[in-house]
Amino acid sequence: MSLADIQRAMAAAVMNPLTPDEEMQQSTSDGRAMADVAASFIAPNSRLSAFERLEIYNRQYWLRVLGSLAEDFTALRALLGAERFQALSIAYLSAHPSRSFTLRNLGAKLVDWLIANPRWTGRRHALAIDLARIEWAFVEAFDNAERTPLTLDQIATLDGSSRLALQPHVQLLALAYPADDIALALHAKEKRQTSEAGVSQEVDVPAQLPRIRRRPTWVAAHRMDLNVYYRRVEREEFETLAAIRDGRTLAEALDAGFCGSDIPDARRPGRVQKWFATWAELGWICAPDLERLVTA
């Protein structure tokens, strides 16, 4: 076997899901005996067989990735319960195993996977997707880049043909529920259920939530002073920000924002002035990425 063959064989074995007892499977997904697979590239030692040596890596891989995903999606886990979330996580990670040097990216495809696989979330499917969006937005807002923001005076010199950009850490979320409040409440509950030793009390019962009505909610997740915040915005503000993020001109962005709006024309300039004052204060607006525009 070449080095590349050994790496591929070991990766496939290590990423093979564990048994319910957290042991290595006796056979691979294509029916080969795992003991034979292990023996093909791992030598036994005086204490452990090739199978047992490989099992150590298989077990540690799954314990680590499952723990990492649970840390990133605490509210989703609370909503579904520990056992259901564990089964969901195994199915998701089997379809989208870790491909990065960092565990930070594990949940990058979870929202799209949940949309395509509703059976894992049951009757709370729409709320589960909203919570997953909120929690992944936290990861993105915390980690993504921050560019030099434009001041309000600089923004005031622009005209309708100007193009602006949104800070990479600002994440825009169109939700079916007020899931930002729900996520924060579930995070607080999870924190209370954590022992003084820092070990979470394993509670498999899904969180009991009050009756929640569907209500379109628009949220911007952003970073300030190394902390992530969720800020509610009105639909028109959301659509304008989304158009700015997508590289449209200022005039096009405002047209998109007010398309179908009930806000009277006379009140719109004041609304826009208020938005830009807030965005400048928060540092959300920056100059466009010229290299991206040239290559687009």
Summarised one tens digit per residue, pLDDT across range 77-125 is 999 999 999 999 999 999 999 999 999 999 999 999 999 999 999 889 9
SS3 assignment, position 172: strand
Helix ranges (H only) for the chain are: 3-14, 34-39, 50-72, 74-80, 82-95, 110-116, 125-143, 152-156, 179-192, 235-245, 250-258, 268-282, 290-295
CA distance 96 to 59: 18
Share the mean pLDDT of the chain. Answer: 91
Give the total residue count for the chain: 296
Residue 195 pLDDT > 50: no
Sign of CA dihedral 76, 74, 137, 99: negative
Residue 7 pLDDT > 50: yes
pTM for this one?
0.87
- Give residue 159's region: left, alpha or beta (phi > 0; psi -120 to 50): beta
Q: Are 180 and 210 in contact (CB under 8 A)?
A: no
pLDDT band at 40 (very low <50, low <70, confident <90, very high): very high
Summarised one tens digit per residue, pLDDT across range 198-207 is 445 455 667 7
Specify the pLDDT at position 206. Answer: 76
Lowest mean pLDDT among 16-25, 116-125, 191-200, 259-268: 191-200
Cβ-based burial of 121 (10 A; exposed 0-12, middle 13-18, buried ≥19): buried
Residue 151 pLDDT > 80: yes
